[in-house]
Amino acid sequence: MKKQGEIVFTKYGPYTIVDVPLYTEDGTFIETPRVYSLCRCGASNSKPFCDGTHGKINFVGERVKNKLGKTKIYAGENISIYDNRYICCHDGSCSLENVFLPNDTPWINPDGNPDIEKIIEIIKLCPSGALTYEINKEHITAWFDEEKIIFTKEGPLHIQGPIEIKDDQSSDEILISKDHYSLCTCGKSKKKPFCDGSHDD
């Protein structure tokens, strides 16, 4: 797949989107120019678009939690599940009995369900890229054919497809999968530009 789109920004302003179509959560296409700006300070009156309010509130979108932690590998007989807690946006998609056990340690049991396709299906629902998997000795991190940005009303932007991010905090180096990730739009994440679930606080 040919990479086309990019997201460019600094600590002080919005996400400038270049050549990536925008959709709502229910799949409705939102018409935009080729280059447009999406709010990340959380204060725009024209969300998802930036209306310049970030300047009035002196927004500084600096990452404050910089300890990245390691990707953990939960090795199973037929599938291994990789988990990177840092980029998790806590959207709760990882729900599968006996495999994802949020109240247990370890919280992932890759052998908890014999239906490997079902486990893969659930991993692919994780919008942040925190969960990926290994099967037949191959670490699979990418599965989106189409580049798009999905705007969620009370939550992050979900980025799908290998859309490059270019910013002044080298944020692209944090990503496990450049194929999908979730960007903060409320201005409260401590792991900016990535969503850390703070919009629910």
Contacting residues toward ligand FES, per CB under 6 A: 13-14, 39-41, 43-44, 50-54
- Shortest approach of ligand FES to residue 12 CB, angstroms? 9
- Shortest approach of ligand FES to residue 186 CB, angstroms? 10
Q: In what order do the strands lie in the sheet with 22-24?
A: 29-30, 22-24, 148-151, 157-160, 180-183
Q: What is the largest CA-CA distance in the chain?
A: 55
Collapse the DSSP code of 183 into the 3-class scheme (helix H, G, I; strand E, B; otherwise coil) and give the result.
strand
Collapse the DSSP code of 200 into the 3-class scheme (helix H, G, I; strand E, B; otherwise coil) and give the result.
helix
**44 or 160: CB nearest ligand FES:** 44
**50 or 79: CB nearest ligand FES:** 50
E strand intervals along the chain: 6-8, 15-18, 22-24, 29-30, 35-38, 72-74, 80-83, 131-135, 138-140, 148-151, 157-160, 164-166, 180-183
- Shortest approach of ligand FES to residue 60 CB, angstroms? 11
62 and 192 Cβ atoms separated by less than 8 Å: yes
**26 or 154: CB nearest ligand FES:** 154
**12 or 107: CB nearest ligand FES:** 12
- Shortest approach of ligand FES to residue 39 CB, angstroms? 3
**13 or 110: CB nearest ligand FES:** 13
Alpha helices in 128-199 (DSSP H): none
- Shortest approach of ligand FES to residue 200 CB, angstroms? 19
21 and 180 Cβ atoms separated by less than 8 Å: no
**122 or 191: CB nearest ligand FES:** 191
Collapse the DSSP code of 117 into the 3-class scheme (helix H, G, I; strand E, B; otherwise coil) and give the result.
helix
- Shortest approach of ligand FES to residue 36 CB, angstroms? 12
